[in-house]
C-alpha cells in the first residue's frame, strides 16, 4: 500500500476516494477547488503562522508581532471577500470545505490560547478592524457542530500550551 502523512492530502484523498460517504469537502467546480487550496495556503501564510509567533513573543517584539497579526487578518478578510461566496459563512457558501477542515483545529486553539496567554481576543480584534467577513468565518468555523464535537476541551488546550511553553523555556 501507499502511505500518506500530510493531513490535508489524506483528507482530500478520502473525500475523492469515498465521495458518497460523509460530507462533501471539495466543491464541484475546478475554480472553486482551486480557491479552497488557495485559502489553505493563504491561511497558513497569515494567521496560521503569525498567531504562533505572537504566542512566543514578548516585550517590544510582541507589539511588532501584533501589528503583523493585524495585517494578516486583513489579508484573510480580503481573501474571503474577493474569493468567497455570499451564499453562506464559509468560503464556498454553506459548504464546509477542506479549507475550513484545515483551519478548524487551529481556529479553536487560537480562540482559547491567544486571550489566555496574550490577552488577544481574535473576534474582538477583527471587529475593531472592521473585518466582518473574517469575523463571521471564524465564528462559523468554531461553532460548526462537527468542529465542536471533535475539538479539545479548553482546559486541555491551555494545559498543553502551558507544557509547550515551559518545555521551550528550558
Q: Which tens digit of pLDDT belongs to each residue from 141-166?
A: 999 999 999 999 999 999 999 998 88
pLDDT at 170: 63
pLDDT in tens, the chain (170 residues): 778 778 888 888 888 888 888 888 899 999 999 999 999 999 999 999 999 999 999 999 999 999 999 999 999 999 999 999 999 999 999 999 999 999 999 999 999 999 999 999 999 999 999 999 999 999 999 999 999 999 999 999 999 999 988 877 66
Three-class secondary structure assignment of the chain: CCCCCCHHHHHHHHHHHCCCCCCCCCCCCHHHHHHHHHHHHHHHHCHHHHHHHHHHCCHHHHHHHHHHHHHHHHHHHHHHHHHCCCCCCECEECECCHHHHHHHHHHHHHHHHHHHHHCCCHHHHHHHCCCHHHHHHHHHHHHCHHHHHHCCCHHHHHHHHHHHHHHHCC
At residue 162, the pLDDT reads: 93
pTM of the model: 0.91
Q: What percent of the chain has pLDDT over 90?
A: 81
Q: How high is the pLDDT of residue 140?
A: 98
Amino acid at each position: 500500500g501507499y502511505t500518506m502523512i500530510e493531513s490535508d492530502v489524506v483528507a482530500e484523498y478520502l473525500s475523492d476516494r469515498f465521495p458518497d460517504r460523509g460530507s462533501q469537502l471539495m466543491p464541484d467546480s475546478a475554480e472553486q477547488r482551486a480557491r479552497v487550496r488557495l485559502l489553505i495556503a493563504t491561511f497558513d501564510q497569515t494567521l496560521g503562522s503569525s498567531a504562533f509567533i505572537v504566542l512566543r513573543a514578548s516585550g517590544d517584539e510582541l507589539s511588532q508581532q501584533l501589528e503583523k497579526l493585524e495585517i494578516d487578518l486583513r489579508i484573510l478578510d480580503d481573501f474571503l471577500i474577493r474569493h468567497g461566496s455570499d451564499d453562506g459563512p464559509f468560503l464556498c457558501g454553506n459548504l464546509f470545505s477542506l479549507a475550513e477542515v484545515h483551519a478548524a483545529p487551529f481556529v479553536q486553539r487560537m480562540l482559547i490560547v491567544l486571550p489566555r496567554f496574550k490577552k488577544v481576543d481574535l473576534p474582538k480584534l477583527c471587529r475593531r478592524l472592521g473585518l466582518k467577513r473574517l469575523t463571521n468565518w471564524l465564528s462559523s468555523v468554531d461553532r460548526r457542530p462537527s468542529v465542536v464535537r471533535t475539538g479539545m476541551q479548553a482546559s486541555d488546550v491551555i494545559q498543553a500550551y502551558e507544557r509547550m511553553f515551559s518545555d521551550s523555556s528550558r
